[in-house]
């Protein structure tokens, strides 16, 4: 995939819903019911972070759920990209971006949301052809005010901010002209997963789905 194709595919995924759930799942048995609950609430794009031993199995299980578009988060290496694609991931997300990681995603045909946390990083990705990027860690890197400031000098770049975002501040980001969606974990809280409270996950997802996007 070319960078332009990557960006088109990434934008299509980001426009599926205003919130992309960022999921840390320890138990593969939770994967299918969690994905079903999130999709039922209107959040089809699912980012499974590669932070647990079960992550690849979780991606495999979620890839089977009708209506879901599962991706792999915390991609760091070429090996991560290959494993995620083989498990059924349809997109990737990285906390930052390196030439090797970008090349791996292009080679594997895996649409990537490469991470940027500064104007220079965003410019470097734009120079390579990536017009859709992840802004991480959003709150710690300057928050909605920082992204608003970037919208004038870098109008070509659209972001999916992630990191410290909740229902309370999501609208601050979604109201910006350069934000396509936000990533957040609040729609799948650990206590709900542990209790198998899937109806609660669906309720939280529907609430997030209703957030206004500019």
pTM equals 0.96
Give pLDDT, residue 133.
Answer: 98
Q: Which two tokens stand for residue 14?
A: 């980001």
DSSP string spanning 123-151? Answer: HHHHHHT--EEEETTTTTTTHHHHHHHHH
Is residue 125 a part of any domain in this protein? yes
Give per-residue pLDDT as tens, 89-142: 999 999 999 999 999 999 999 999 999 999 999 999 999 999 999 999 999 999
Give per-residue pLDDT as tens, 181-192: 999 999 999 999
Is residue 92 a part of any domain in this protein? yes
- Determine whether 134 is an active site residue: yes
| CATH number of 194's domain | 3.20.20.70
In the block, residue with structure tokens 């490469």: 114
Number of domains in the chain: 1
Give pLDDT, residue 28.
Answer: 98
Active-site entry in 36, 47, 85, 106: 47
Is residue 14 a part of any domain in this protein? yes
How many other β-carbons are positioned within 10 Å of the β-carbon of residue 132? 24
Is residue 214 a part of any domain in this protein? no
Residue span of the structural domain in which 34 resides: 3-209
Is residue 166 a part of any domain in this protein? yes
Active-site entry in 36, 85, 106, 134: 134
How many residues belong to the chain? 214
Is residue 119 a part of any domain in this protein? yes
């Amino acid at each position: 995939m070319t960078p332009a194709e990557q960006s088109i595919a990434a934008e299509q995924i980001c426009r599926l819903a205003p919130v992309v759930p960022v999921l840390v799942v320890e138990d593969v048995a939770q994967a299918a019911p969690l994905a079903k609950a999130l999709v039922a609430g209107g959040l089809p794009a699912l980012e499974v972070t590669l932070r647990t031993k079960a992550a690849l199995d979780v991606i495999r299980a979620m890839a089977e759920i009708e209506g879901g578009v599962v991706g792999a988060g915390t991609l760091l290496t070429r090996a991560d990209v290959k494993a995620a694609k083989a498990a059924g991931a349809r997109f990737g997300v990285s906390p930052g971006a390196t030439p090797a990681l970008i090349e791996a995603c292009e080679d594997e045909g895996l649409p990537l949301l490469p991470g940027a946390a500064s104007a220079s990083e965003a410019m470097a990705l734009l120079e390579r052809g990536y017009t859709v990027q992840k802004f991480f860690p959003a709150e710690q890197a300057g928050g909605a005010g920082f992204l608003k400031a970037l919208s004038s000098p870098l109008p070509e770049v659209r972001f999916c901010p992630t990191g410290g975002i909740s229902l309370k501040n999501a609208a601050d980001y979604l109201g910006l002209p350069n934000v396509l969606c936000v990533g957040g974990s609040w729609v799948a809280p650990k206590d709900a997963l542990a209790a198998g409270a899937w109806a609660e996950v669906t309720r939280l997802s529907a609430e997030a789905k209703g957030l206004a996007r500019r």
